Amino acid sequence: MVRDDGKRNFALREGDGSESSVFSGNTPRQAALKAARRIDPASSESDADRTKLRLREKGTDKVHVYEGWAWEEEPPENSPDWLEDQDAITEANVSKQGIKHLDEE
């Protein structure tokens, strides 16, 4: 279901079918990127392990399947003041694997 501000809610599904967290975004990819940042980050993007992320769109039977990975980087030089105290920031990326429906799982 789309909220008044245009965002949709996506529940992160575990392997047993339970839904542990809810992420919002205008697109499923936005929500998947937020979920991927919670993955234990690697020291670099090339070393990052890929994790399967399954996000069910609330109000529908669609499950968006992504492969996500996270890594740590130094903050950019033009970062805001509050970020200067951080040694590293977590970056993430996702790759869409497809859409499934709950009755297919």
pLDDT computed for residue 104 by the predictor: 67
Q: In what order do the strands lie in the sheet with 19-25?
A: 19-25, 8-13, 51-57, 62-73, 89-101
Residue 4 has pLDDT above 90, yes or no: no
pLDDT digits (tens, 9 = 90+) for 49-88: 999 999 999 999 999 999 999 999 998 888 888 887 888 9
Neighbour tally for 88: CB within 10 Å: 12
Residue 16 has pLDDT above 70, yes or no: yes
pLDDT computed for residue 91 by the predictor: 95
Task: Give the C-alpha distances (Å, rounded to integers) separating 6 from 18, 25, 43, 77.
Answer: 26, 8, 35, 33
pLDDT computed for residue 105 by the predictor: 61
pTM: 0.87
Task: Retrieve residue 93's tokens.
Answer: 């990326």
